[in-house]
Structure 1
């Protein structure tokens, strides 16, 4: 398993805690393990994303098989409440 870091922005119309639980659920459903979860809080966006001018930032460190990371990216992309996300390898 490789370690990854996911940073994502949740639309303010959704509950960040619920979306965080969904993200953790995606990771565990794929056989991964959450190392650390951190809610950074609501911040104004540098530019509009769709109609959103602010969002709730969160970071999750997790481990997952590299074969399953593509499927995880698809699940994150299909969630309409997550307006931006970035997955990097965490060392």
Structure 2
């Protein structure tokens, strides 16, 4: 029986201790190798604007590599990765993400193919005024 391949998105937050471009590329390469080892394929990765290094909404306490005590992180480097993987292998891939010291948080979501719209940059949207199209005046 053949496994069903599905499209996923992975948002990871990389430790600020490893946020140089070489370290981010090394982390993405390590994730790509983990993905390949479970039979997945990397579709795309994005760590440029608007992602990049950002302040976290709340501090995250994690063990930093080579340290005995936990450290509180207030910043992280965000990376968005799109990949294809068999549904039965997603738990093994998650296990490998948990073992990666550079990743302080991750979220894997299933890409919905039905009704998928291309992402707009917002340039085609018109600014709305308060109260709808009437400019704040109610029609009687």
Q: TM-score of the superposition, structure 1-length normalised?
A: 0.94
Q: Which residue matches 2:103?
A: 82
State the shift of 1:34 in Å: 1.0
Instruction: Decide which structure has greater strand share.
Output: 1
Alignment partners' CA distance in 1, 2:25 and 2:13: 12
Question: Which of 12, 15, 39 pairs up with 1:31?
Answer: 39
Aligned length: 91
- Alignment partner of 1:42 is 2:53: yes
Q: Which residue matches 1:11?
A: 15
Q: TM-score of the superposition, structure 2-length normalised?
A: 0.62
Greater relative CO (CA pairs within 8 A, separation 6+): 1
| Structural RMSD (CA) | 0.9
Stretches of structure 1 lacking an aligned partner (at least 5 in a row): none
Structure 1 segments of 4 or more deviating over 4 A? Answer: none
| Structure with bigger gyration radius | 2
Stretches of structure 2 lacking an aligned partner (at least 5 in a row): 62-71, 113-140
State the shift of 1:63 in Å: 0.3
